[in-house]
Structure 1
Amino acid sequence: MDNKDKTQYTFRTDRNTEAFFSERYLVCPKCGEQLRQLDIENFSCCPFCNHAFEVDEELEDFLLEPTVEMWIRQQGAAPSGTGPLN
């Protein structure tokens, strides 16, 4: 099996029906705690057990997801033909 095919991290999505949004968490492979994007950005390791995360494409996608979603929402709200690329 190639390392590229191997999923290193486990993620969990909780849906908050009261606030109408869902939030993804990274499950620490060492202690099992659920970590948000900001936890990893601020600490670069698990704040509960100090497990150091190996940054790979999967973890990068998880960390960048809120920013990309914000960009998509902003572009979707802009009238057609008025985006920065037009």
Structure 2
Amino acid sequence: MTAESYAAHDLHRSAVERQLLIVGEALNNLRRIDPETAERIPDLVRIIGLRNVLAHGYAVVDDTVVWLAASTRVPELLTTVRSLLAQY
């Protein structure tokens, strides 16, 4: 999917935003429960910040930012999380 097709489909945008909300909430909980592990997540504060925008600032959601987070940053985050899980 391209950024343009993503932006053109309400259902896709809604689904991606929902999943990013869940990720941000989970990392926010991790930060509270296990701050040492949470500190090992790159851009933790930005991820949680995006969650907050998605949850509370629908009027200012930038589809380009969400698309870049989903297409670029989530795969990087997944690699980090898998690495952390393998250590436990």
Q: Give the structure with the larger helix fraction.
A: 2
TM-score, normalised relative to structure 1 = 0.31
Instruction: With the length of structure 2 as denominator, give the TM-score of the two structures.
Output: 0.31
Larger radius of gyration between Structure 1 and Structure 2: 1
More strand by share: 1
Higher RCO (C-alpha 8 Å, min separation 6)? 2
